A and B are shown apart, each in its own frame.
Chain A
């Protein structure tokens, strides 16, 4: 790997670790001011921009959207509205317009604990992981799958800095496979259903941003895998 490529890979691995961590947190817990602060900080915009290329305008849209949020955030009501939106979209108690579980999108019915749950569980186990709430929670939820990607991104970055090529290849391949077999299969359907949300303060837009990020990440991982590992 020459220096220029190393530089690009280093940037990319750092960026994806941040973005997966951010996305895991964004979808995995109720929002607060600090989380919105990180979301609207200048670096977050740059983190999306790093993924931009001529064929997609999603990073640019996301950057514009985050700038809007930065303004709206000044309104003290905004956080309350975003909290309501989070609860309505991801917690309940009413039925969720786009239930954030992979199993819901592999079949006609909105069900948890299906075959995809077992498949995802097998992948987690392969990497020495299991949901903290196992077996009470479905393994193939949005937040858990993003946490998996974030944890693997951390392992990739650690392997990169430690020069452990084999571990780097293993975690990147694992990430790439997981994207292709799981997240990229259902997230587009999920974001499509998210368009039916009653409000769009933050999360429906961030679902689209997530989808764009996942697609670009997959392309870039393919390239790293094909050309450099």
Chain B
């Protein structure tokens, strides 16, 4: 007998007893009963394996399906997945037509091409989970982020959330739940009496209210640049603190390249030599963060001193430039509607002519003691040589048409309003806003290079619900991003400043619950170290996500949701492209859509408290998700060359029937006529305006042509260099003050503070190729390619004895991070930076070894309630622990020590 079986027989126990024991033990195992369906096989129809005579194509049988790329990434692209039996074998991007500059392919970036890794990552949240040591009686909040977890059923999750929320609402009232983000879940809370929302401008820094009130076009700050064909006629383009090569991936950089080829000169002003500069032959003007306003004023002073300013333009289109053109006191009352605040009523008042901009910048009149804001004065502050400032000033004043494009970054500072105000003023002083496409605008994200309003749009889903409105709406009752964590800890928030008394009125709060779905405010809003304290303080924290991001990590109940690839479909657009993504796969494991989850919680509340909660899931949910998708398709519009919006898609009865079959339910829609068959739209992955050159957009053209007939939306009807309403509005918000003029102000935790407080190194953070904000941070492809390095100038690195790859400790006023250095001349001395959005990972000393930017940022609300992400004072040293491994690696332990 062969050896193996001989071994089996030669054991020192009785064969008969062993067999008996074996049968009994096997029965005992079977008797243990339930094993989840994710871990059990069931009988199915037997399918004989295909006998392959020769090598076959493993992709045979696969089908290309348009796939959503749904992120807030700065691009809008086409993505398709090769799907076989629910498995995505690979992806591709737009190949629907030959590529050309006028009619380009809409190609995906490294993140879009990694999309399948995000959807099918082994680290997807798969089951509802409860933090082990949490209970309402004893929340053990300090254990958040470190505790063990327990898997629970959906029914248990719904019950815990329903019971806990009800108890907290009964005890502390309907404002006790702070919703940091969410779509359907907040509607459930409306049935309990409401919730406390969140507000505050993030991406565009201080641009929105400044552009709306100084240039008089609400929301124009992000789209009111020249169309991309007019862009090619610009002679000069200045990128002031923006980096479209990275933060507007997709087409923008390609469009800028066409402008370069057509002869436009480019200049980059930035603390970093960005990826944008070299491809456009752009000279780099290095500048200290937060000091840009000084440089702008230096340029203006030089332009005026050399009589290069456009006096006719200033007189005709602007108020506040000089004492003869101040805003009038008898203007009609003006109501301003901010995006996230209640309307603000402005009554014009007498303005002292001494408060004119000319006197301020030239150091005359009441500012004679301060002296003129010369390039030399500016140079001391911003670090740019005076000669460089003068040279650029002359070039900008004399090269027409020219555009200044800026990102949000230079305005994402504390008290950030002066920079956009000053930059707009620079454009006005040179007559470079509104002539031949010239403009000053914060075009970024997917609006970069795509000036003009969108030419395509998706329809509404028709999502109605029967829930009562939130009596604590965002515009009056929300917590500001900069103040929310402090408000939770201290039990009050800023309501407004009383203009009569000058007193800041506070509003009392008693937040005991935090909910987050659709995003991750804890990691992505300023002051995360304060945020963690607030998270640990409250009684109950819930989170819905598809991965274990920072908000999930510090929650008590984590619910797994689906991605867009597991939902009926999604639409996204830039100016010319409307892309569509279809359902690629079934929901993974126990994941549900946000809508289904909200319905489950509402149904549970109704079941447990039928008298107090008369609503059911259907009241919350409105229209079914498949029907919503069909409605969105039906509502797709394109703008024709006459400016009329027309239906895009032809949808037949067969199309409705086909989608109904995909949905497994009856969908309804009246057939309609458009210019593209729905099936073609789906197969191709979208629709693209075929004749984009016929849609010219010249910013402010009507106003420039006839300012009396077409005033801009400011109290004066003109561009406001002296902008009283902006000052009054910000004063009313109560966070800080803003002068009516675009003055240089010393920023809290800016450059000058750092020189005095012992934290002289400025830390800034930028959009990073690895992620779309915090999304994608968990993907190994992207982690390897973009290792979350800390940029540090060579001379700063030498001073602390650090070379590339060494771990640097960054200590700030609010937190600490440690990351490997990238030692380079590409960043200004005295400045360090890292990509925003890494998922915080605190070590035992409280140092964030992932390097999340918001571990460093403050919790200081200023100005219009925007986020001051780039105002951070730090000091740096070589970290004592140099053993931090690259992000994807781990330490091993010996299990069976010898």
List A residues at the B interface (Cβ < 8 Å). Answer: 4-5, 7-12, 14-15, 17-18, 21-22, 24-25, 27-30, 32, 34-35, 38, 41-44, 46-47, 49-53, 61, 83-84, 87-88, 91-97, 99, 101, 104, 108-115, 117-118, 121-133, 135-137, 141, 143-144, 147-148, 151, 194-197, 200, 204-205, 208, 219-220, 223-224, 226-227
Contacts and interface: CB of A to CB of B under 8 A. Distances in A.
Contacts, number: 265
25 contacts: A14-B19, A21-B30, A28-B35, A28-B39, A44-B25, A46-B18, A49-B11, A84-B148, A87-B151, A92-B127, A93-B149, A110-B121, A111-B117, A111-B122, A126-B46, A128-B43, A131-B41, A132-B40, A133-B40, A135-B585, A143-B39, A204-B895, A205-B895, A219-B4, A220-B8
Contacts of B34: 29
Contact of B778 (A14, A95, A127): A95
Contacts of A131: 37-38, 40-42
A117 B26 CA distance: 28
Nearest to A8: B5
Query: Which residue, B4, B32, B58, has most C-beta atoms of chain A within 10 A?
Result: B4
Interface in B12-51: 13, 15, 18-19, 21-26, 28-30, 32, 34-49
B833 to A, nearest CB: 27
Query: Which residue, A30, A91, A113, A123, has most C-beta atoms of chain B within 10 A?
Result: A113
A144 B28 CA distance: 20
Contacts of B342: none
B148 A87 contact: yes
Given A132-B41, A133-B38, A93 B552 contact: yes
B122 A104 contact: yes
Query: Which residue, A5, A124, A129, A137, has most C-beta atoms of chain B within 10 A?
Result: A137
Contact of B38 (A24, A124, A137): A137
B39 A147 contact: yes
A124 B44 contact: yes
Tell me what chain A mostly uses at the interface: helix, strand, loop, or mixed. Answer: helix
B126 A91 contact: yes
B321 to A, nearest CB: 58
B558 A53 contact: no
Contacts of A121: 85
Interface stretch (B86-94, B281-289, B869-877): B86-94
B781 interface: yes
A119 B813 CA distance: 55
Interface stretch (B167-175, B212-220, B260-268, B586-594): B586-594
Contacts of B116: 111
Given A128-B46, A135-B586, A101 B122 contact: yes
Contacts of B558: 93
Contacts of B778: 95
B430 to A, nearest CB: 52
Given A87-B149, A147-B39, A220-B8, A43 B893 contact: no
A46 B1 contact: no
B794 to A, nearest CB: 34
B120 A114 contact: yes
Interface in B119-155: 120-127, 129, 132, 148-151
B709 interface: no
A121 to B, nearest CB: 7
Nearest to A146: B39
B652 interface: no
A195 B122 contact: no
Interface residues of B, number: 84
A112 B36 contact: no
A22 B25 contact: yes
Given A114-B120, A118-B85, A12 B589 contact: no
A164 to B, nearest CB: 16
B475 to A, nearest CB: 35
A196 B893 contact: yes
B586 A50 contact: no
B89 A115 contact: yes
Contact of B895 (A7, A113, A133, A208): A208
A53 B4 CA distance: 8
Contact of B41 (A51, A97, A130): A130
Interface of B: 1-9, 11, 13, 15, 18-19, 21-26, 28-30, 32, 34-49, 58, 84-89, 116-117, 120-127, 129, 132, 148-151, 548, 552-553, 558, 585-590, 778-781, 890-896
Contacts of B120: 111-114
Contact of A96 (B32, B123, B589): B123
A25 B29 contact: yes
A43 B3 CA distance: 23
A91 B38 CA distance: 11
B780 A144 contact: no
A46 B895 contact: no
A148 B11 CA distance: 28
B6 A8 contact: yes
Nearest to B126: A92
A190 to B, nearest CB: 12
A4 B89 CA distance: 50
Given A22-B25, A29-B36, A196-B892, A117 B9 contact: no
A8 B781 contact: no
A23 to B, nearest CB: 10
B28 A92 contact: no
B32 A99 contact: no
Given A84-B148, A121-B85, A143-B38, 10 more contacts: A5-B5, A22-B25, A38-B28, A92-B129, A127-B46, A130-B41, A147-B41, A151-B41, A223-B2, A223-B5
Contacts of B19: 10-11, 14
Nearest to B148: A84
Contact of A132 (B42, B129, B780): B42
B204 to A, nearest CB: 33
A105 B893 CA distance: 20
B47 A125 contact: yes
Contacts of A53: 3-4, 7
Contacts of A117: 87
Contact of A147 (B26, B40, B49, B896): B40
A95 to B, nearest CB: 4
Contacts of A220: 4-5, 8
A63 to B, nearest CB: 12
Nearest to A121: B85
Contact of B42 (A18, A129, A224, A226): A129
Query: Which residue, B4, B26, B84, has most C-beta atoms of chain A within 10 A?
Result: B26
Given A118-B85, A200-B893, A47 B25 contact: yes
Contact of A93 (B41, B45, B125): B125
A9 to B, nearest CB: 7
A21 B30 CA distance: 8
A104 B778 CA distance: 15
B52 to A, nearest CB: 11
Nearest to B132: A84
Contacts of A109: 117, 121, 779-781
9 tightest CB-CB pairs across the interface, nearest first? A128-B46, A143-B39, A28-B39, A99-B122, A132-B37, A130-B44, A8-B5, A43-B21, A110-B122
Nearest to B889: A196
A95 B8 contact: no
Nearest to A104: B122
Query: Which residue, A9, A11, A194, A226, has most C-beta atoms of chain B within 10 A?
Result: A11
Nearest to B20: A43
Given A10-B19, A44-B25, A126-B47, A28 B40 contact: yes
Contacts of B29: 18, 21-22, 25, 38
A110 B891 contact: no
A11 B20 CA distance: 10
Query: Which residue, B38, B39, B122, has most C-beta atoms of chain A within 10 A?
Result: B39
Contacts of B3: 53, 223
A220 B2 CA distance: 10
A50 B37 contact: no
Nearest to A222: B4
